[in-house]
Amino acid sequence: MDFVFTVISADDESQTLRVVLEPDPGRYEWRTLEGKRYLYDKLDDVYIPDEVYSQLAGQMNGQPLFCQQPKIADVKAYFQSRKAAITTRLDGHFSAPRFEDKSEEFLESLSVYKLGFVIISIDIVGSTRLATSLSPEEYAKVTSTIVSELSEVVPVFHGHVLTYTGDGLLAYFPEPSFISKNDLAIDCALTLHSLVYNVLNPILRERGFPEIGVRIGIDAGDACIVSMGSSETKCHKDIIGLVVNLAVKIQARAKPGEILLGGTVERNLHGKWRALCEAIHPGNDWEYRYVDGDLYTIYRLRH
């Protein structure tokens, strides 16, 4: 649900707020039908009985809510701060970063076998053109710069890079923040898109390199955390589940420059993001379905 927050008190030391939550009047309104009171959801055209809402409110009363905000307040300022790093790397004046795997550390720290995730699949469009038009050294330099900058954005929105795919990457946004992880993933996807088209491409163009594009696919759901591989060769923590496969499949349906998301993500977004989503026809060969048998919906995010 979308709520309006009224802050009652704040504790800087514990970084906690006491708030009163009320249904967002832009989305909900109280209506009476046949003598019964309902909270009407104008976005989903759903009537929520008063007793159901009261039960939900009772369950939430006094319970802590975990909410994460992006680590940057001004995206334009962030982009401006990255330009020097991008040009330095393209000019070949950089030191290789120390090996770290924050994703591995996070997944190793979990005490659960299954968790809810939002998965982002990012495909770099034009990587083949880069490979065929540049020397191996230039191609490696440009590609590593692009992937590095995409990777830098993910943790800004409390996500982790799961793996690199050669022409892109897979990232994930985990619980416990069920309320915000979908919003954070969408915000991250829009920032990644803007980084490519408004920051990286102008710099590539100035240096005579081919421009690139991105296709982005997003889905949400439960997945298992497992150890993959062999201790004799390579072993690492991985995320296995339909949600990962669907994010990749949805990304493959996107045109260059598009951000597509699955119905589960759209349903769990706050209203401001859902207003930017439009359902699209996934193609006659799309075979994925909801548990009730209906065809799984894909949405395009307008930006």
- Which segment of 1-5, 6-10, 33-37, 276-280 scores lowest on mean pLDDT? 1-5
As a whole number, the mean pLDDT across the chain is 90
The pLDDT, as a whole number, for residue 250 is 97
pLDDT higher than 90, residue 6: no
- Domain segments of the chain as ranges: 3-60, 75-301
pTM of the shown model: 0.88
Domain 75-301, CATH 3.30.70.1230 — does that match?
yes
Residue 40 pLDDT level (bands cut at 50, 70, 90): very high
Q: What gap in Å lies between CA 234 and CA 277, rounded to an integer?
A: 41
The pLDDT, as a whole number, for residue 67 is 67
Residue 301 pLDDT level (bands cut at 50, 70, 90): very high
What would the mean pLDDT of 243-247 be, rounded to a whole number? 96
pLDDT higher than 90, residue 195: yes
The pLDDT, as a whole number, for residue 223 is 95
